[in-house]
Chains A and B, each alone.
Chain A
Amino acid sequence: MKGVLKKDLLVFGACLVVYAVIQGLIEVDFIGPFWVLNIILICINIILVTSLNLINGFTGQFSIGHAGFMAVGAYLAAVCTVKLQLPFIVAILAGAVAAGFLGFVIGLPTLRLSGDYLAIATLGLGEIIRITILNIPYVGGASGLMGIPRYTNFTWVFFATVFTVFFIKNLINSTHGRACISIRENEIAAEAMGIDTTRYKVLAFTIGAAFAGVAGALFSHYFYIAHPASFTFMKSFDILTMVVLGGLGSLTGSITASILLTFVSAALASYPEWRMVIYSLMLIILMLYRPQGLFGNKELSLKMFGRLMGGGKNGSANGN
């Protein structure tokens, strides 16, 4: 336990250094607005991708409706700041709670389904959430909710991201997380071992949805607007793509894939008509040559850490 804590503190320290460097570069205007935007997008994507990885990669429940929960967080947080004049942190928490609650309510009946059927159901639910929002005049309907203050900055997204990753990492290494992984490996065997599979599936789904809500809140408070068109199933596919590309069940993989794909799409921004074509070709080629994702279900840093420290505790957790 001590070793884990020490390692966590070490990684957290490294995060602070990274934060200080990037924030410093932003302060002195070395990083222009375009790249600041992309760094913020990377952080938001990391939150979305790691939280979806908790559902898809670690618990093995195939959900492709993540954009719906993101939309709930985005809209509810925007309502809190715009209509109720609440502080930003309250708005983020409200978005997270609302998305998590919705995840719980939706998860309870749908998680009885498995495999492709669950995927389709979550896809449909994501679209239903979006269409419902589209039909609520209070939040602007089809034209979106405008005039949201820009509270999100690099500090907010960075620490939200660090919190998310640490939360999910520690959850996975806890009893609850192990229960989730056992469901992924073999649901029937897990049940036979006395694990309440429904409970853990709903737990993972709720937590994943709540973090998607956080990401949504940060997203809408950066772009001044919450628009239903930002949360279509294409957004869910985007997140899913990053999860699978990074490797199902690999948090470091999720982070790498978020950074890689966001950068690729930013780098291609100057060729708008070719952007999606190159993006899709790259996706197909990467999947053909690396179907298990970049890292499979292994963790990059932990393995290296494990080797450095002579076989640390976590090295074996996600290996073999």
Chain B
Amino acid sequence: MDFASFASQFVQQLVNGVSLGSIYALIALGYTMVYGIIRLINFAHGDIYMLGAYVGFYATTMGKLPFLPALIIAMVVAAIVGVVIERLAYRPLRNHPKIAVLITAIGVSLLLEYGGMLLVSPQPRTFPPVFGNEIYNVAGIIVNLQQIIILVISVALMIILTYVVNRTKVGKAMRAVSFDTDAAKLMGIDVDRIISYTFAIGSGLAAAAGVLVGIYYNSIDPLMGIMPGLKAFVAAVLGGIGIIPGAMLGGVLLGVVESMVSGFISSTFRDAAAFGILIIILLFKPSGLLGKNVREKV
């Protein structure tokens, strides 16, 4: 492979990686926010993403809605489901050992997957083409319309999220609860309500990712959330779990690495690459790229 073709292949994979990575980032944000606030690895998060994809699917096929309203409906439905799950399955166990909540989260995840199969049949569905199939050829690099839309929507959502977390009262409360729950409670913050908001926002973002993936790959099925869910979790850990910019960075990095591995080595090692990164980062910097090391005190 001469240098020119290598370079163009590299840039091509970079483009693919960034659009895949921005989807991971959207899912990872939900993981990281929930972890940051109640220290729970919410295994059901990947399934919320699947749910979002299905709501988007039904909104565009049966509801005949255009893209943007369908996206918003999917986000709202997922947000409600996320809040209900937290209320029914996680809140009663708030003061119990973390492992009990983790098992419950696994239970919820299985329930969503197999309940979903029961409701919508296990067969994959074809997502209707919402956008045209325009392909732009920029100096030998192929970019299609879907990739641009994924990038634009993800960046827009991340900007909105950053604004909410950093500039609004709810965001301030979220940061306070995540910093120190008891102190936040003493300052008069309704912690339960803030946790509900966190679940709503995280689930909404995952649903947006689900709709975008449906449009990108044209195919959705009830088990689609398992792998992206895990990978997004890896992305969250990579950036530093509990840190919002970390999830964005981790997601994009993971997407790029995966694209590079499947482009230059072999696509069967794609999944191993994600977990390999996970192990390396955990061994050398467990708090993640943007995390700070916290020493355990007696």
Which A residues are within 8 Å of any B CB, using their own CB? 56, 62, 109-110, 112-114, 116-117, 119-121, 123-125, 127-128, 131-132, 134-135, 188, 233, 237, 240-241, 244-245, 248, 273-277, 279-281, 283-284, 287-288, 291-292
Contact B114 A134 (CB under 8 A): no
Besides the known contacts A117-B282, A276-B114, A277-B114, 17 further A-B residue pairs in the complex with CB atoms under 8 A apart: A109-B283, A110-B279, A120-B237, A125-B279, A127-B230, A127-B272, A128-B279, A134-B268, A273-B114, A274-B118, A280-B109, A281-B111, A284-B89, A287-B93, A287-B103, A287-B104, A292-B97
A241 to B279, CA, bound (A): 24
Contact A117 B286 (CB under 8 A): yes
12 residue pairs from A and B, CB less than 8 Å apart? A113-B283, A113-B286, A120-B234, A135-B268, A188-B296, A273-B117, A275-B114, A277-B111, A277-B118, A284-B107, A287-B93, A288-B92
CB distance from A185 to the nearest CB of B (A): 14
Q: Given A124-B234, A287-B100, A291-B93, check contact A119 B41 (CB 8 Å).
A: yes
A46 to B138, CA, bound (A): 59
| Secondary structure call for the A interface | helix
Q: Which residues of the partner chain B approach A116 to less than 8 Å between Cβ atoms?
A: 35, 39, 41, 98, 241
Interface residues of B, count at CB 8 A = 43
A89 to B118, CA, bound (A): 43
CB distance from B45 to the nearest CB of A (A): 14
Quick one: which of A56, A62, A277 has the most chain B CB within 10 A? Answer: A277
Contact A284 B108 (CB under 8 A): yes
Contact A127 B99 (CB under 8 A): no
A-B pairs, 10 with minimum CB distance:
A276-B114, A291-B100, A280-B110, A283-B107, A124-B275, A280-B111, A284-B107, A291-B96, A131-B272, A124-B278
A120 to B275, CA, bound (A): 10
CB proximity to A under 8 Å, residues B252-298? 268-269, 271-272, 275-276, 278-279, 282-283, 286, 296, 298
CB distance from B48 to the nearest CB of A (A): 15
B278 in complex: contacting residue of A62, A121, A131, A287, CB < 8 Å: A121
Q: Which residues of the partner chain A approach B35 to less than 8 Å between Cβ atoms?
A: 116
A132 to B272, CA, bound (A): 8
